[in-house]
Structure 1
C-alpha cells in the first residue's frame, strides 16, 4: 500500500473520487442516517479500492449497471485514529469507474451531534449538525477522507416536514419526496418505503466545485433566517431574538467580502451565508464553503464577533480554494488564513485592531510552544503526524507561526510585492490541495533569491519560534502590556485608562498578567470591572482561567456555569486544564469530573474526546 495521507486508508495508486451523489434519510428517534452514495472515480479501479469509515454499517456495495453486489470487507478491528478500512473488490472483466454503497451511520458518529428538543433554543424540535474537520467525514459516509481527494457532490436530504436543512452547497429546491427518487429505492430494508412518506420533505443541494471532504457540512432543524447583504443570509434556530442579534452583529459582512475581493481576487463561492449553531458547536467558526458555521458565543453585541467571520471569509481563498494536502501541512490553511484575516480586519476596521489581534496571537504562540516543549515536533510548520490524532495536537501554532512566516516574507519583499505574490499563488493553485514543498518551490520561483534572505528550512521544518519572528508594535498594544506588567505591583488600571476598551483589549491584558496571582488581586480586579460577568466569552474565560490558577474559589460557581452553557473547545480546554493541572488541587479535579459528567451530553463528540483526554 502507498499511503496518500497518514490519517487515511486511501492508497495513492487507487483512483480518487471526483463526484458523489448522496441520498440520506434522517431518522431522528434512532439518531442515525440511512443512505446511499453513488461514487464516480477518476479512472476504473482494478483489484481493491480502499475507503475510510468510522462507526458506519456497510450494508451493500453494488455495481452501477445491474445493482449486483460487489465483494467488500471491513478491517477486523478499528484503528483508534483512522477508523475502519473498507476494501472493495472489483472484477477483472468489464471495467467501470462508478459504484453504489448502501450504509447507515451510528449514534456514535464523531461528526454528528444529535440534539433532543430540550437541548435546543426553542425546545420544540430536534436538531442535528456536522463537524467534519479534520477526519470525521468518514463517520457520515464512506469516502477517501483526505484533503488530497477533492470531490463535487449532490445530496438529497429526506427530513421531517416541520424541519428544514442547510448545506455547504447550493440549495436547489425543497419538495415532497417520491418513492423512486434518486437512489432511495436501494436504501436499507424498511426505509425505502418510508422515503416518500407524506410527513417528510426532501431538500436538494449541489456543490459544483471540488472540495476536500472535511468541508462537507449540513444542519437540520427548525431554522429561521435574516438577510444582511446581497450575498449573505444568516440562519439560526427560529428564535427572533437570536436571529436579530446575529443580524446586528454581522451586518458588515458584505463590506468584508468587498475588501477581501480587493486583496485576494473575486469571491469564488457565489454565496457567503452564515449559520449560528447551538452552544454545543465545538469551534468558533467552521469555514464550510457557502455556509459558514458559527458558535453563538461570537454574538457579542458590539459587532466585534465579526472578526471570527473575517477569518472564515478569508478561508474562502486560503483553505477552501487552496487546501493543505494533508494535516502535516495544516499551516498552509491556517497560517495563510490568519494573515488574510488580519489584512481584512485592517481594511474594514483599522490597523490597531489588526495589531491587537496579532498581539493576542503572539502571546498564544509563545504559550503553545511552551505547551509542546516535550514534543517539539508539533512546533514545526511541516511536521510528522503518523500515528497521531490531529484533534489531539490541535493548537495555535499552525495559525500563528504560519502567520509569522508569511509576515516575515511580506517584511522582506514589501507589501505591494507580497500582495502580487498572493494573487499569483491563488490563481496558480485554486481548487487544488498542495504541500509545503510545492509552496516553497512556487515562492522561490516568484521571488528569486528569497532563500538567501530568509531561512525557509528553519521556518518550515525548525522547532520553536525563529529569531526573525516579530512581536507587533503600536501605542495601544504597548500601553496594554505596560498596564499588565504594572499589575505585578498591585496597580489595577484606572477607569479612564480602560474607558475605550472592548473585548480584544481586555483579552490581551488578561492574557499578559502573571498566570498565578494572589486571590485578593483577582477579587480586586473583578470588583472594579466585573470581568467574571462579561458577555464576551474571550474575556470571561481568560479571567476565570486566572481565577482557577490562583485558586480563587469564589468564582468556581461561574466556572461551572460557563462549562455547562458552552461547548466551544477554545473555552473548554483552558478551563478544564486549569482545574486539573498541578498538585494539591483535589477539590478542583473533583469539580472538573463532576461538571463533565453532567455536561458531557451537551458537548459535541469531538469536544467530548478532548475533555476526556484532559481529565485522563
Structure 2
C-alpha cells in the first residue's frame, strides 16, 4: 500500500456512503471475479470509468476487503492509495482513497473476506441438492462494498460487465444479460491472478453485461449447480437442479407473464427485457430481492396455491418503482417501497381480484400498526423521510416505508380518483426513469402535476410527521370485515367454527392471527391449534404468526416447533419476531437461554445480514 495523506473533510452525497458530492460518479465498471470456494473468497479486478476526469483524492466505499493494488490501466503504473479509518466504522466500513492525476479510469485489485456481509457461502449439506457448494449475494442496502470497492450509494447508477471464473461443474446467473459460457483466456484476468490459476484445469468463465444503469445495491449473482424451467417468453425460473423445487416453483409462478403485461398496462413499458426468477436456498434473508433481470426469492413463497405469486408481483413492480426510479439515499427508502407496495397491489387486484388485494392491504395495515409499537421509543423511524445518519439501515428496516408509503399514495388516489392518479404515475415514471431522486423532488413534481393537492392533503405531515396520519385508512371489504370480526370474537372467548373458515387460505389465516391479542392464555392458544393445526401449516406466514402468538403467550409446548422453524429458514421476517418474542420483556431468563442456544446452533445457516439482525436483538435484551 502506498501512503497518501488522510482525506480532507468530505461533503457526503449519502449518509451511508463515503462518496464525495464533489467527485465525479462512476458510470461503468468492468469486473473479473475468481471464485475460490475452499477459502470462501473472491479475488477481483474492477476497472472504473468515471463521468469526468479527476485529479486528487477519490473515495470509494469498502467493507472487509483486502486491497492489493490500484493501477493506471493504460500504463499499469501503481496509483497511491490508502484505507481510512484504520478501524472500520461499524456502519460504513472503510473508505478507499485513491489519488488520481487527470484520470477517468483506474483499476483496483481486491479480495473479499469470508465474512463479507453481502455473500453467503453454503457448503453442500446446506443446499437443496446436498452435493455441490453454493454462493449468492444480497447487496441491499449497503453491502455491495463488501464484494468490490464502489460508490455504494443509490445516487450513483452504474452499468457493468462481469467475468465470473468458477469451477466447471457449477454455473452462474446474474442480474444482467448472459453473454456466454466459455473456457478462460490467458491474459484476461486483469491482475486478478496469474494465468495458471485463472486458466487452470476445471475452470470455466460465465460472462455477463448490464447495459442499463442500476444502483449498486442491485448488483447480484449466484453460483451453484443450477437448472431452470421455461415459464413464458420473458421468464424462466431457476434453482438448484432439484426437480421438486423447480417444478413446484414453475407451477406457483406460472402466471408471471400475465402480471408483466398487467404491469406494462398500468405503468408503461417493461425496460429490462427479461424477468427471470431464482429460488434460493432457505437461508435467503428476504421474501424476494428485485434484482433486475434476475429476481431472487426465498423458497418459503412456494405455497402450492399460487398465492406466493404476490411476492413475485412486488418484485415485478420494482421494475418500474425502485429499479427504474430509485431513492437517492436510504433516508428516502419509501420512494422505492411505498410506490412498489402500491403498484404490486394494483397488479394483484387485476390478476387475482379486488378481495385478494384488500387482504394484502389489511395485512399491511396490521403490520404498520405493530411497527408504531416497535418504534415507540424512537419515532424518527415512523417517518417516511427519515434521518439515518450513523444508523445501520438493516437495524431499522421495517414495514413503515412499505405500508405508510402505500397509505400516502392511496390517499392521493382517493383525493383525485384512480384514472387521474394512473395518468400521474405513468408521467412520473416516464419523467424520472433511470434516475435517483429524493422526497422533495417527488413532492415538487406532485404539486406541479396535481395543482392544489397540498390544500387537501398535508404533505408535510405525511412525509415528515411521525406515526400514522389521521387520514390514513384501514381497508374495508366483506371478507376483511368478517375476519376482523371473528378475531374480535376470539377475544370474547369464541373460536371460529369450521364452516366459517372452510375456504380460508394462508392470507386469511395470517390476517386473523395478526388481529388477535398479542397475549392470550396458553390454553386458548393450544385450543386454537388443536382445532386448526396452525403450528403444522406448510405456509410459513401462518406458521410463524401462530408461533409468535404462542411465544408471547408463554405457551412453552410450542418452543420445540419454534426451534425447528428458526433452524429451517433464514428469512428475517420470521427470525425477527420469533427471537424478539423470546427475549423481550421481564422474567424471561429461560427463554433467553433458549434463544441464545438456538441462534448459536443455527447461526451458520443464516445469511450475514440476518446474523447481524439477530445479534442486535439478543444484545439489546440479554
Q: TM over 0.5: same fold?
A: yes
The answer on whether the counterparts of 1:186 and 1:192 sit within 8 Å (CA) in structure 2 is no
**Aligned residue for 2:513?**
510
Residue among 186, 191, 207 paired with 1:186: 191
Within 1, Cα distance between the matches of 2:170 and 2:468?
49
**Aligned residue for 2:74?**
65
2:556 matched to 1:577?
A: no
Residue among 359, 368, 372 paired with 2:371: 368
**Aligned residue for 1:493?**
496
Residue among 247, 263, 267 paired with 1:264: 267
Within 1, Cα distance between the matches of 2:196 and 2:372?
56
Deviations 1:137-189 (A, max 9, x none): 000000000000000000000000000000000000000111122xx04124x
TM-score normalised according to structure 1 size? 0.98
**Aligned residue for 1:318?**
321
Within 1, Cα distance between the matches of 2:424 and 2:373?
33
**Aligned residue for 1:80?**
90
Determine helix, strand or coil for the equivalent of 1:186. coil
Within 1, Cα distance between the matches of 2:573 and 2:203?
37
The answer on whether the counterparts of 1:20 and 1:153 sit within 8 Å (CA) in structure 2 is yes
**Aligned residue for 1:105?**
112
Counterparts in 2 of 1:119-134, with a 5 A limit?
A: 119-134=126-141
Instruction: For residue 192 of structure 1, report the CA deviation from its aligned partner.
Output: 3.9
Residue among 3, 14, 18 paired with 1:9: 18
Residue among 430, 435, 440 paired with 2:433: 430
2:170 matched to 1:163?
A: yes
Q: Which moved more, 1:473-482 or 1:488-497?
A: 488-497
Instruction: For residue 113 of structure 1, report the CA deviation from its aligned partner.
Output: 0.2
The answer on whether the counterparts of 1:547 and 1:555 sit within 8 Å (CA) in structure 2 is yes
Determine helix, strand or coil for the equivalent of 1:227. strand
Within 2, Cα distance between the matches of 1:37 and 1:156?
11
The answer on whether the counterparts of 1:481 and 1:509 sit within 8 Å (CA) in structure 2 is yes
**Aligned residue for 1:50?**
59
Instruction: For residue 193 of structure 1, report the CA deviation from its aligned partner.
Output: 2.3
Within 1, Cα distance between the matches of 2:177 and 2:520?
52
Within 1, Cα distance between the matches of 2:486 and 2:190?
68
Residue among 389, 402, 411 paired with 1:386: 389
Within 2, Cα distance between the matches of 1:304 and 1:274?
16
The answer on whether the counterparts of 1:185 and 1:192 sit within 8 Å (CA) in structure 2 is no
Determine helix, strand or coil for the equivalent of 1:345. helix
**Aligned residue for 2:290?**
287
**Aligned residue for 1:358?**
361
Counterparts in 2 of 1:391-540, with a 5 A limit?
A: 391-540=394-543
Within 1, Cα distance between the matches of 2:594 and 2:11?
47
Instruction: For residue 44 of structure 1, report the CA deviation from its aligned partner.
Output: 0.6
2:181 matched to 1:174?
A: yes
Deviations 1:545-579 (A, max 9, x none): 01101111111110000000000000000000010
Within 2, Cα distance between the matches of 1:535 and 1:277?
18
Within 2, Cα distance between the matches of 1:390 and 1:269?
27
2:552 matched to 1:549?
A: yes
The answer on whether the counterparts of 2:70 and 2:79 sit within 8 Å (CA) in structure 1 is yes
Residue ranges of structure 1 left out of the alignment (5+ in a row): none
The answer on whether the counterparts of 1:51 and 1:142 sit within 8 Å (CA) in structure 2 is yes
Deviations 1:322-354 (A, max 9, x none): 000000000000000000000000000000010
Residue among 14, 23, 28 paired with 2:37: 28
Determine helix, strand or coil for the equivalent of 1:411. helix
Residue ranges of structure 2 left out of the alignment (5+ in a row): 1-9
The answer on whether the counterparts of 1:503 and 1:538 sit within 8 Å (CA) in structure 2 is yes
Within 2, Cα distance between the matches of 1:41 and 1:475?
56
Instruction: For residue 29 of structure 1, report the CA deviation from its aligned partner.
Output: 0.3
Counterparts in 2 of 1:323-334, with a 5 A limit?
A: 323-334=326-337
Within 2, Cα distance between the matches of 1:549 and 1:367?
14
Deviations 1:72-98 (A, max 9, x none): 00011211100011000013xxx2200
Instruction: For residue 239 of structure 1, report the CA deviation from its aligned partner.
Output: 0.3
Deviations 1:382-418 (A, max 9, x none): 0111111100100000000000000000000000000
TM-score normalised according to structure 2 size? 0.97
Determine helix, strand or coil for the equivalent of 1:194. helix
Runs of 4+ in 1 over 2 A off after TM superposition: none
> Aligned-residue CA RMSD in angstroms?
0.7
Deviations 1:228-268 (A, max 9, x none): 11110000011011100000100111111111111001111
Within 1, Cα distance between the matches of 2:509 and 2:472?
24
Determine helix, strand or coil for the equivalent of 1:19. strand
Instruction: For residue 198 of structure 1, report the CA deviation from its aligned partner.
Output: 2.9
Within 2, Cα distance between the matches of 1:592 and 1:4?
40
Determine helix, strand or coil for the equivalent of 1:78. strand
Within 2, Cα distance between the matches of 1:542 and 1:187?
47
Within 1, Cα distance between the matches of 2:370 and 2:522?
23
Within 2, Cα distance between the matches of 1:251 and 1:571?
26
Instruction: For residue 583 of structure 1, report the CA deviation from its aligned partner.
Output: 1.2
**Aligned residue for 2:7?**
none
Determine helix, strand or coil for the equivalent of 1:44. strand
Within 2, Cα distance between the matches of 1:212 and 1:281?
21
Determine helix, strand or coil for the equivalent of 2:370. helix
Within 2, Cα distance between the matches of 1:186 and 1:26?
14
Within 1, Cα distance between the matches of 2:466 and 2:585?
26
The answer on whether the counterparts of 2:325 and 2:432 sit within 8 Å (CA) in structure 1 is yes
